[in-house]
A and B are shown apart, each in its own frame.
Chain A
């Protein structure tokens, strides 16, 4: 009615506007949504528990103390045998997952930065090659990339007897890559001390050089000095002790090369595939990050007399990093999760080992729970670290 339309501001109008108040309605809708979701979760949890109990499915994690009874092909950090427990087997799987994820992240980042910067190169050929790389790897499912390395490249390498020998007593055959293992003799600890001193020295040299440059404008070759310290001191230490270091070389045994250290084709193909695959995405992120830095920034740097190298290193990249890091985090998480494709080529990662345990013990609920918790923890930790890194790189107002 017309008279209501012109009701002056008062108690009545406040009542009406409460229902029409978008904020109030927003609260109502959110409350309803929360209730619905909570009800759904409650129903699911309840139903699950009832069903599991009926089927005698869930029975706790006590079984993890049992003897595993199976062997695992690759356990670089822990002494594992079929006499170890299921829990130890899981640890081997977790460490293998972490190893391949960590190694993959490092390599993917390096390749990704090279390709990403290459895509912005002034050189036509480099630019095109990098574009082709990105388009190829970005558009193939990671599983296929893994198979490409495993079935297409590594399994067609020669047999042990015809191993390809490479420099420094390293060998390559269809059982993996073999290299001499260092055997440290008495007194080799001094080399470790040398290394620590070298690292500490580098730290101080950097600080000193920075201060000096700030004060006098003079530069100091920090890179070379650091390298000299980190490599030189341990070598010097070894020399003092008369080189207490020998190598265990791989030699041909009855079936395969024996001795030395070895990286199996399963690890290699997974590592290479994850690195190459994820690098394509990282390259795009890097390109976008660099593009995101205003042209004026490098022009200003040039105007100040900085050459191309320092301009990129000191002006463009630090600013680009702020754009790069958040999406980079997602790629790291993706790589870690994609490492679960290991199961397809028999690399004993968390999923593969867990799968075996699941099957031998028939504890599906427990094993699935462990999988979820472990991957979630790895992802959360990675995110936390990257957030910290991001905060550190963020623009600091002075």
Chain B
């Protein structure tokens, strides 16, 4: 359709690079105009124009979700990966606009599996609110952005392909200002900063209700606004996934003043999401995750993968596609050395974790329940055979 380019075209206007943190996040090119924003949604700045064009927007909305994503991706020559707008450790761009993080490495792993080249990825930063519509409209091929697997999301036309990080929701407070508080159960009456359109928002309501506590939600759509509001003291507590708390804590003016309270109030299994109805593509994302886990289990690392591929352990050879007459990779729609490509590009699960979240990163998050099943964790790969 002729309008395709409107949906998939990048409408990221010039970002206002001022000193004013919050303002910077607004795309002034779209203020007072109506259009389709980069998430394929309607830019809601001027509602009258919005009205005038909503009809045409609807026409554009639903046409891009074609069934054979793998073919589309190959034809395009790159993977369009939906990631966080900026969550250190998971996905954040540096000054030069290069993305890095745990979720970003998953995008790169998929690109390596498909193209043998981890650089063939384009990233679409997505806020909590925009991520699923962006996937639905076909603007992105896969969403790898700390997204919690829930039944309702699964039923809304999406498929979760696994859990790459087991998380849970927590609270952070300024322990200097609120020195007496060391449990979330003492938060009755507090103002709590939270991002709109998350599972976080719902768990928060449930938790305070279940514990018969009151609170005043301070809700923003953009995470930068949540961070700024918490940092400026607009709220007493900040709630989100614990990994997110650790990441944002480091970005605060005085990180050492802030503590994460011990309570974990929810289960937040985070994982990649694809559109429902494309089994092959879902399988590729699913098995990329298992490949990363299997590589860790078998001790296959970025450094030794090429050498091990030439070795003679039957299991390693099978996983790395060196078994005679193997069709494991081609059956998936990839090449037989897909696991070699993945591990060569990003390393194994453990390497990715350490580099982005664990000891090799400023976050220093322990493996905890994200350890391999054999080490007491929950990460368990299905056998590649």
Contacts and interface: CB of A to CB of B under 8 A. Distances in A.
Given A344-B26, A368-B54, A356 B61 contact: no
A351 B44 contact: yes
Contact of A51 (B62, B225, B234): B62
B232 interface: yes
A227 interface: no
Contacts of A65: none
A364 B62 CA distance: 11
Nearest to A159: B233
A359 B221 CA distance: 11
A4 B215 CA distance: 90
A209 B88 CA distance: 73
Interface string B11-24: 00000000010110
A265 B26 contact: no
Given A69-B202, A155-B232, A364 B32 contact: no
Nearest to A43: B59
B46 interface: yes
A355 interface: yes
Main secondary structure of the interface of B (DSSP, over half): mixed
Nearest to B198: A359
Interface of A: 41, 44-45, 47-48, 51-52, 54-57, 69-73, 81-83, 141, 143-144, 147, 151, 155-156, 159, 174-175, 253-256, 258, 265-266, 333, 337, 340-341, 343-346, 348, 351-352, 355-356, 358-362, 364-365, 368, 371-372, 375-376, 379
Contacts of B65: 55
B71 to A, nearest CB: 18
A255 B236 contact: yes
A376 B234 contact: no
27 contacts: A51-B58, A51-B63, A52-B61, A69-B205, A70-B201, A73-B218, A144-B23, A151-B228, A343-B44, A344-B222, A345-B225, A346-B220, A352-B196, A352-B219, A352-B221, A355-B129, A356-B129, A356-B197, A356-B219, A358-B197, A359-B196, A361-B152, A362-B153, A368-B42, A368-B57, A371-B44, A379-B48
B136 interface: yes
Contacts of B22: 147, 151
Contacts of B50: 371-372
Contacts of B219: 72-73, 346, 348, 352, 356
B52 to A, nearest CB: 10
Contacts of B218: 73, 266, 346
Nearest to A70: B201
Interface in B137-154: 152-153
B61 A51 contact: yes
Nearest to B26: A143
Contacts of B128: 359
B205 A147 contact: no
Contacts of B157: 55-56, 362
Contacts of A156: 232
A141 B31 contact: yes
Given A265-B234, A343-B44, A375-B47, A256 B189 contact: yes
B303 interface: no
A362 B58 contact: no
B80 to A, nearest CB: 18
Given A255-B236, A256-B190, 9 more contacts: A57-B62, A69-B202, A70-B217, A71-B205, A73-B219, A155-B232, A340-B47, A361-B152, A375-B51
Contacts of A69: 202, 205-206
Given A143-B26, A345-B225, A174 B197 contact: no
A267 to B, nearest CB: 12
B216 interface: yes
Interface residues of B, number: 64
Contacts of B228: 151
B340 interface: no
Contacts of A375: 47-48, 51
Contact of A73 (B153, B188, B216, B222): B216
Interface in B232-257: 232-234, 236
Contacts, number: 170
A174 B41 contact: no
A254 to B, nearest CB: 6
A266 B225 CA distance: 12
A44 B233 contact: no
B133 interface: yes
A97 to B, nearest CB: 10
Interface string B147-172: 00000110011000000000000000
B206 A82 contact: yes
B327 interface: no
B205 A70 contact: yes
Contacts of B62: 51-52, 54-55, 57
Contacts of B229: 155, 346
Contacts of B74: none
A44 B234 CA distance: 46
A337 B33 CA distance: 12
B206 A364 contact: no
A346 B46 CA distance: 17
B221 A48 contact: no
A372 B54 contact: yes
Nearest to B155: A362
Contact of B56 (A44, A57, A82): A44
B310 interface: no
A275 to B, nearest CB: 19
A147 B61 CA distance: 32
A359 B220 contact: no
B202 A48 contact: no
A346 B48 contact: no
Nearest to B3: A47
A340 B216 contact: no
B191 A359 contact: no
B58 A52 contact: yes
B373 interface: no
**Which 8 pairs of residues, A with B, have the shortest CB-CB distance?**
A359-B197, A51-B62, A82-B205, A55-B62, A346-B220, A362-B156, A48-B58, A155-B232
B375 interface: no
Contact of B189 (A54, A81, A254, A265): A254
Contact of A57 (B61, B196, B202, B204): B61
A337 B205 contact: no
A155 B132 contact: no
A256 B187 CA distance: 12
Nearest to B190: A255
Contact of B41 (A48, A70, A343, A364): A364
Select the residue from B31, B41, B51, B128 with max chain A CB neighbours within 10 A: B51
A11 B20 CA distance: 77
Contacts of A258: 189
A365 B48 contact: no
